[in-house]
Amino acid sequence: MREMQARAYAKRGYQYLLIKSPPASGKSRALMFIALDKLHRQGVKKAIIVVPERSIGGSFSNTALSDYGFWTDFEVEPKWNLCNAPGADDPRANKSTVKAVGEFLESEDRILICTHATFRFAFEELGVERFDDCLIAIDEFHHVSMSEENVLGRQLAEIITRDKVHVVAMTGSYFRGDAVPVLSPGDEEKFETVTYTYYEQLNGYDYLKSLSLGYFFYSGRYLDAVSDVLDPALKTIVHIPSVNARESTKDKNKEVSAIMEHLGTWQMQDPDTGFHLIKTADGRTLKVADLVEDERERERVMASLKDERANSDRDWVDIIIALGMAKEGFDWVWCEHALTVGYRSSLTEIVQIIGRATRDAKDKTHARFTNLIAEPDATEGAVTDAINDTLKAVAASLLMEQVLVPNFKFTPKRPIEQAQSEDGFHYGESGYDKGGTNIGVREGGHAEFHIEIAGLKEPTSEEGKRVCDEDIKELVAAVLQDKPTVEQALFNTEAIPEETTVVRTMNIVRERYPNLPSEDQEAARQRVVAAMAMIEAANTGASALEADGIELKANTRLLDGIRKFTMDVRDLNVDLIDSINPFQTAYAILSKTMDEKVLRQLQSVISNKKLNIPYEEARTLAIRATEFKKERGHSPSPTSKDPWERRMAEGLAALARHVAKKNA
């Protein structure tokens, strides 16, 4: 087994297991090992492996694990790999796959593979009890969320409540920053977690050792700039923009043709593979796979890309052009360049696209991700800062770190007779101020902040109270992930702030909670705006600000508390930009090379920010760490399986932070 697989297999006995590991790190094989152990040694009757789309089902084909020393092989009867069945992508149109799940549960066979959609419909039809004593393995787990609209998320919550199923969840991008949480905190606590980071992965590879990211800004049409970033010598996946994106020409097929023209002269379409053959200026013949074509052609091309020769023969295909496909779970080991057109606001999507290029392959030592974006209507300095924050967020995500939002509890100013100082919040040395501003902090796990605001609307319904008490964190994340809002903030210097705080935020609240009374929707909106204002105050150091006409007096204790208990990428003192170069009539921002060393340093910075170890304790741990290094020949590792070794590493990082602060 690879290191990550061995790490996951060591925790195979847990009923609920969450594997957070980068694309191409071997999660599919790890699941095979775990599933076989559960089936043969833990009393689990059947294993159902659930993948988001048919193409990913190929990752779980029959594998002779015994050839590598394992005690048995992974074998699936062909009829139970429902990803190969016609209509598997749309079980509503073809219900045979849904029916097959029920037949499998009645059969003597033990392993089934199906799409998320098939499982959702089968679950609704069969009920939770039919899956008792099964292993449900969910690949690309970031597709699950707590959202009411997320059917698989609701079903998973039901499975966990019944508590008669084993669950293995796998993802390369488990980030709370993407719209809504994947799991409720209570359900998440039930999962044992296996984390494997990009820097560990790169360190363990034979060939691929580094990654770089570039943001290229163009003016005019993107098709006039694409030849400057698309290198025919590199194995590349090109993701053209959605027809709804500002970069799109609204004619996807003409865009594909224009990209091929940039590569060279079209010769013919191979009748066997469906690949287009393009002759370049230097006489080479490129094989281009078009996944944007109509469905019949796309199926033929996808079948050719699934051919085992695609990953064994470097010359099988050269460039893949896709629209919505080839982003996650798509295995092409030779890919060394992921080029995407159009601004991507989702960390999950970015990391999944990057993952297409980060598989280890012979003589592939470097991978790159390029985002080609229309030039923003902003100063170069403002864009540079924004891109550096984006690079930090991406790098933190590659380290499986989550950007957290604090829990805020906003209430109207209480009458003096109702004032309490024993409500679980700490209001500072002077306690609760019956006549002034009150900001309380409750510590433990992640901090909670109680902020009284004069004039804040109170919700009137029970559901409105619940939303205002429990869902503000998720609504803040939804606003920050709303693409039109993000684009306005990044690209429009003339944007009217009230348009975001009033119109867009209210639209998001209404979409999430259409049945709430209008006054409760307004109460939730006010709290979302206030929460974002508080986070901004912590990041900018403001001690007072105005949000939506409400004056918020943020004392130092609040700002320190937010900084202490949240990780905002803007608070990471790291510059990941290597150079800013002219590009066409605009410019390009290129990242530093993200190799094992740079990612490890960033991990140290992040850990440093998260640690809260007093100076004397940090000093004691650092002394022990020095002794450890003399004995073992290396410093304590923050990712060690040994908790004492991890604690010594944390002590070293904390001491460095104390010293740096003292010197400053």
Whether 551 is in a domain gets the answer yes
User: Which among 161, 196, 231 is the end of a domain?
Assistant: 196
pTM for the model: 0.59
Among 505, 538, 566, the domain-final residue is 566
Instruction: Judge contact between 21 and 6, C-beta under 8 A.
Output: no
Q: Is residue 395 part of a domain?
A: no
| Residue 508 domain boundaries | 407-566
Question: Does residue 380 lie in a domain region?
Answer: no
Based on the fold, state whether residues 29 and 168 are members of the same structural domain.
yes
Q: Is the model more confident about 235 or about 390?
A: 235
pLDDT for the residue 481? 55
- Residue 102's pLDDT is 93
Q: Which of 137-146, 183-192, 261-270, 530-539 is predicted most confidently?
A: 261-270
Domain boundary residue, one of 352, 374, 396: 374
Same domain, 364 and 500: no
Say whether both 336 and 462 belong to one domain. no
- 624 pLDDT band (50/70/90 cuts)? very high
Name the 3-class secondary structure at 360.
Answer: coil
Is residue 244 domain-shared with residue 184, that is, in the same domain? no
337 and 297 housed in the same domain: yes
212 domain-assigned: no
One domain, residues 165 and 304: no
The 10s digit of each residue's pLDDT in 239-264 is 998 877 778 888 888 999 999 999 99
When computed from its CA atoms, the radius of gyration of the chain, rounded to whole angstroms, is 26
Query: Best-predicted range by mean pLDDT among 65-69, 399-403, 567-571?
Result: 65-69
Structure-token match 């994106």, residue found:
245
**The total number of structural domains that make up the chain:** 4
Query: Where would I find the H helices in 359-404?
Result: 380-398
The amino acid at residue 336 is: E
Question: Are residues 557 and 522 part of one domain?
Answer: yes
Least confident of 27-41, 51-65, 603-617: 603-617
- Over residues 373-425, the pLDDT tens digits come to 887 666 677 677 777 777 777 777 666 665 444 455 566 655 544 444 445 56
Q: Residue 142: name the closest of 240, 25, 18 by CA.
A: 18
Task: Kindly state whether residue 402 falls inside one of the protein's structural domains.
Answer: no
Show the 3-state SS of 614-635.
CHHHHHHHHHHHHHHHHHHCCC
Claim to verify: residue 355 and residue 444 sit in the same structural domain: no
CATH (domain of 280): 3.40.50.300
269 and 330 co-located in one domain: yes
DSSP codes, 509-560: HHHH-TTS-HHHHHHHHHHHHHHHHHHHHHHHT-SEEEETTEEEE--HHHHH
Same domain? For 303 and 185 the reply is no
540 plus 650 within the same structural domain: no
Of residues 257 and 343, more confidence is placed in 257
Asked whether residue 585 is assigned to any structural domain, the reply reads: no
Comparison of pLDDT for 591 and 266, the residue scoring more: 266
Residue pair 599/203 in contact (Cβ under 8 Å)? The answer is no
How far, in Å, CA of 469 to CA of 501, rounded?
20
Residue 574 lies in a domain: no
User: 358 with 501, same domain?
Assistant: no
Return d(Cα 489, Cα 576) in angstroms, integer.
Answer: 22
Please indicate, yes or no, if residue 445 is contained in any of the structural domains. Answer: yes
Q: Fill in the amino acid letter for 148.
A: E
